[in-house]
């Protein structure tokens, strides 16, 4: 089966994780990073989930799953390790109109979770349509060696320049020309080595004097220059 790739906006949306182990914790943490309102349902929870609940990051329901728990949910992840519970969650999610992912059981999934390279606003998703998660993981690990943390900063630079060009009324031809210059520039290399002066010089030359890192509102944390 071939899946339709999509990135979801789940900010402030109710999402439910059923299960209290390590996998459930990772799923809850991932949902939280995207701004979701997360509830975890499990009779027992590991220390990481308990810590999230203690600081108010999630709502923890300390009991087994039961029908009706998914009312109002936008997205549901079942990570219980019990086929019986997972099937019940899948059935109820479908009835509630919620998106459903059952860990390690693609046949019960309305969507699958790809292997992700996370560089801030740069997210690269790799999927084998559920046929070989191990290959997806191997490809992710290989690509991570080529796409460093500097690319997260690079996306911030590109976004800030684009916003300012639009605000200043740049026409489409100028905007596309400038963005192409930046995309194929050495800026990621300079970000990696913390060479802010070189970046500023390049921006002034190819975009304009008002487009330095500081004027774009960008600070390179922990980098030189």
Q: DSSP labels for the chain?
A: -PPPP-----TT-EEEEE--SHHHHHHHHHHHHTT-EEEEE-SS--HHHHHHHHTTSSEEE-S---TTTTTT-SEEEE--S-HHHHHHHHHHHHHHT-EEEETT-GGG-SS-PPEEEEETTEEEEE--TTS-HHHHHHHHHHHHTTS-THHHHHHHHHHHHHHHHHHTT--HHHHHHHHHHHHTSSHHHHHHHT-HHHHHHHHHHHT-TT-STTTTT---TT---
Rounded Cα distance, 97 and 135, in Å:
31
The predicted pLDDT at position 221 comes to 65
Chunked in runs of 10, what are the mean pLDDT values of the chain (225 residues)?
91 98 97 97 97 98 97 97 96 97 94 94 93 94 95 96 95 95 97 95 95 91 50
The Cα 106–Cα 61 span in angstroms is 26
| Residue 108 and residue 100 in contact, taking contact as beta carbons nearer than 8 Å | yes
| Predicted pLDDT at 2 | 85
Do 164 and 211 form a contact (C-beta atoms < 8 A)?
A: yes
CA atoms within 13 A on the CB side of 167: 9
* CATH superfamily for domain 115-147: Sirohaem synthase, central domain (3.30.160.110)
How far CA 47 is from CA of 52, 62, 78, 162, 188, in Å, comes to 9, 13, 19, 43, 38
Instruction: Quickly name the fold that domain 14-113 has.
Output: Rossmann fold (3.40.50)
């Amino acid at each position: 089966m071939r899946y339709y790739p999509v990135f979801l906006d789940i900010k402030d949306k109710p999402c439910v994780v059923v299960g209290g182990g390590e996998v459930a914790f990772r799923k809850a943490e991932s949902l939280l990073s995207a701004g979701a309102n997360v509830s975890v349902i499990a009779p027992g929870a590991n220390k990481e989930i308990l810590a999230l609940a203690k600081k108010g990051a999630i709502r923890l329901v300390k009991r087994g799953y039961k029908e009706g728990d998914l009312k109002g949910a936008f997205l549901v992840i079942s990570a219980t390790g019990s086929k019986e519970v997972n099937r019940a969650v899948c059935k109820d999610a479908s009835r509630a109109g919620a998106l459903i992912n059952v860990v390690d059981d693609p046949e019960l999934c309305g969507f699958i979770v790809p292997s992700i390279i996370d560089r801030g606003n740069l997210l690269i998703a790799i999927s084998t349509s559920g046929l070989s998660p191990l290959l997806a993981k191997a490809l992710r690990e290989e690509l991570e060696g080529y796409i460093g943390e500097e690319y997260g900063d690079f996306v911030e630079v590109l976004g800030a320049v684009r916003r300012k060009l639009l605000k200043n009324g740049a026409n489409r031809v100028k905007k596309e020309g400038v963005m192409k210059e930046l995309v194929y520039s050495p800026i990621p290399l300079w970000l990696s080595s913390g060479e802010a002066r070189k970046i500023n010089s390049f921006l002034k030359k190819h975009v304009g004097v008002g487009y330095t890192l500081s004027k774009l509102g960008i600070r390179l944390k922990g980098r030189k220059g």
